[in-house]
Every structure is written in C-alpha cells, then in structure tokens.
Amino acid sequence: QKEVEQNSGPLSVPEGAIASLNCTYSDRGSQSFFWYRQYSGKSPELIMFIYSNGDKEDGRFTAQLNKASQYVSLLIRDSQPSDSATYLCAPESNSGYALNFGKGTSLLVTP
Amino acid sequence: GAGVSQSPSNKVTEKGKDVELRCDPISGHTALYWYRQSLGQGLEFLIYFQGNSAPDKSGLPSDRFSAERTGGSVSTLTIQRTQQEDSAVYLCASSLEAVKNIQYFGAGTRLSVL
C-alpha cells in the first residue's frame, strides 16, 4: 500500500482567512492527484484535480503540485463556515483507476 | 439515476451473519468501485468492476468478501460470516470508463457488526 500522509487536524481558521491543506505521497509513479471534500456523515465529493507541476486555480480553490518533492496541497481562499469538512487527498494509484486516499484533514472555519 | 445510490444506508447485524450491500451506479457509468472507510482511517479500495467483470479484486480483505455486478449496472457486495472488524462505512463509486479517476460516490452503507 502506497503511503499518503495528511495532518489529521483539526485545522481551525477564521472566516475569510486562507486555509492550507497539505499532503505528501510516497508513490513516485503517481501522475494525477485528486482532492475530495467529505462533510460529516456524507460521501466524498471531488473538488479539484491536478496533473501538472505548479498551480491550478478554480474559484476560491487552488491546488498545488510538486512531483519532485512528492507534495500536493489545497488552498482555500476566503474560507467560509460551509467549507468546514474533511479534505481527502487522493493520488492515483499505479492501477490507473483505484485512488489511494489519505486519512484526511479536518478543517473548521470559525465565524 | 441522478447519482450513485446505495442501500441500505445503515445495517446492523450479528457476528457470523451474512450481509449484502447494494450499489446502483450513475446511468452510463461502466466503471464501478467499492471502498471501505473505517473509523479514523482513509478510504480503502476493495474492488473495481469494468462492466460486469472484476479485473481487480486485490483489495478484498478476505475470502469472506465477494462482489458481483449484473447487467453492467447494479453491484452487490457480500460479506459472509461477518466479524466485528468488518464494521465500517462501505462506499460505492462509479465513473465513465474513459475517465476512471473522476469517481462519484454514493452516500455509503454504515455496517455495524455486534
């Protein structure tokens, strides 16, 4: 099993601040990286994916990838209380379909 | 359907009983996946279906676990002789075959083995 490491948190940020969620992975063969958001008691939903080194922006979300450092992150700008959830990092596995999920980081955005 | 549907949403069973969990994927999605999420753990891959065949069963934790898919649609995950360590949320996901990594998840079945 390839390792995917995330700080479990909780990460607490005030409303309007930038939340930074980090993930490291061990499988150098991973080419695609996915961020899922999971509200308590709900199913994971895909919010971002990134294939290339650098930054990818989508609204308030920015995914950052550094394959050399085996590091992927998710930035959430102007954090809202509705962003409070667990964020799961999921590099693609070498199977090309199964995702290797980290345990997730719990984010709490306080009003 | 509009999304991935799983049933039951909750299942409580006694140790040693068999259980069946059902997944109805998004219409048109030929790829289907089962994952397990235990308390405090990440999602653990169990099995992948390409149509009705399962080319990858490597994640099934033991021979008590089996899965099938019929008609390229509904899938059933069966756990025989359940054990307390089987207690978890079982999540099903589906995707288009061409874009396997963009997976859509159902709400899951929470299994509690007493």
Mutate to test the interface with B, among A35, A43, A87 (most CBs of B within 10 A): A43
What was the pLDDT predicted at A41?
85
What was the pLDDT predicted at B56?
83
What was the pLDDT predicted at A1?
54
Strand order in the sheet with B5-7: B5-7, B19-24, B75-79, B65-69
Q: What would the pLDDT profile of A17-57 be if each residue is shown by its tens digit?
A: 999 999 999 988 888 899 999 998 888 999 999 999 999 99
**Shortest Cα distance, chain B CAs vs residue A67, angstroms:** 18
Predicted confidence band at A63 (pLDDT cuts at 50, 70, 90)? very high
- Asked whether residue A105 carries a pLDDT value surpassing 60, the answer given is yes
- Asked whether residue B1 carries a pLDDT value surpassing 60, the answer given is no
Question: Which residues of chain A make contact with B107, given a CB cutoff of 8 A?
Answer: 42-43
- Asked whether residue A2 carries a pLDDT value surpassing 80, the answer given is no
What was the pLDDT predicted at B98?
80
Cβ–Cβ under 8 Å, residues B33 and B103: yes
B97 phi and psi angles, rounded to 5 deg:
-65, -35
Nearest to A97 among B101, B105, B106 (CB): B101
Q: What would the pLDDT profile of A67-101 be if each residue is shown by its tens digit?
A: 999 999 999 999 999 999 999 999 988 777 788 89
Q: Which amino acid is at B61?
A: P
Question: Which residues of chain B make contact with A63, given a CB cutoff of 8 A?
Answer: none
What was the pLDDT predicted at A54?
94
